[in-house]
Structure 1
Amino acid sequence: MSKGKKGKSVPKFASEQEEREFWEANDSSDYVDWDGARVASLPNLKPSTKTISLRLPEGLLDSIKIEANKRDMPYESLIKAWLAEDVKESRQG
C-alpha cells in the first residue's frame, strides 16, 4: 500500500479489534493517499439484513401464505418483494 500524503505507513495489526481502535483514533489521510483511490465495485456483496418482529392479523398472514404458495416462494420473501416494490413506486412519485 502506498504511503499517505504525510508519509506514514499503515502498521501491522494483531487483530481486527486493534485495527478498529487504531482507525478510530487516527486520520486515514495521514496513512492513505486518497487522491489515487478508485471507486470499488462489489457485485457479489449481499446487502446486510436485520431481523424484525412484525405483528400481523392471522387472517392477513394466512392470505399472504396462500399467495406465496401460489408463487412457490417463502412468505417472508413475498413480503420483502411487496415492500420493496411499494417503496420503489413511492419514490418514483
Structure 2
Amino acid sequence: MSRVKQPIRKVPRFENEDQERDFWASHDSTDFVDWRQVEQVKLPNLRPTTRTISIRLPESMIERLKVLANKRDIPYQSLLKMFVADKIEEELRSAR
C-alpha cells in the first residue's frame, strides 16, 4: 500500500519553548519536513550535555593525576576526562 505524500506544511511560530514542545509532542515532523532532502551538519561549538557521576579512585591515583594536570596547567578533572575520552576512542578503533 503506497502512501500519498501530502504537501509540506509550514511550521508555526512559537512564543516559547513550552509551546513548541507541546506542538511537536502532538504533531508528526514528516508533515513539516521532507526528511529525504536534509543534510547532516556538524555544530562543533556546541557543548555536549554533561552528567555528574561519582567514581571512587585511590587517593594516590588522584594525587598523581593532580601532578600530571599541574604540569599541563589544567584542572585534574579535565585531564581525567581527556584520558577517558582517549581510551574510549582507542578501544573503539581497535574494535573495528
State the TM-score bracket (shorter-chain normalisation).
0.7 to 0.9
The match for 2:85 is: 84
Q: 1:88 to 1:24 in 2, by over 3 A?
A: same
Structure 1 length-normalised TM: 0.78
8 Å CA contact retained: 2:8, 2:34: no
Q: In the alignment, residue 62 of structure 2 is paired with which amino acid? A: L
Identical amino acids, percent of aligned pairs? 44
Q: In the alignment, residue 26 of structure 2 is paired with which amino acid? A: A
For residues 12-43 of structure 1, the C-alpha deviation after alignment (integer angstroms, 9 at most, x for no partner) is: 22211111111111111112222332222323
Gaps of 5+ in 1: none
The match for 1:69 is: 70
Q: 1:71 to 1:12 in 2, by over 3 A?
A: closer
Gaps of 5+ in 2: none
Residues paired across the two proteins, number: 90
For residues 42-69 of structure 1, the C-alpha deviation after alignment (integer angstroms, 9 at most, x for no partner) is: 2322222222222222222111111211
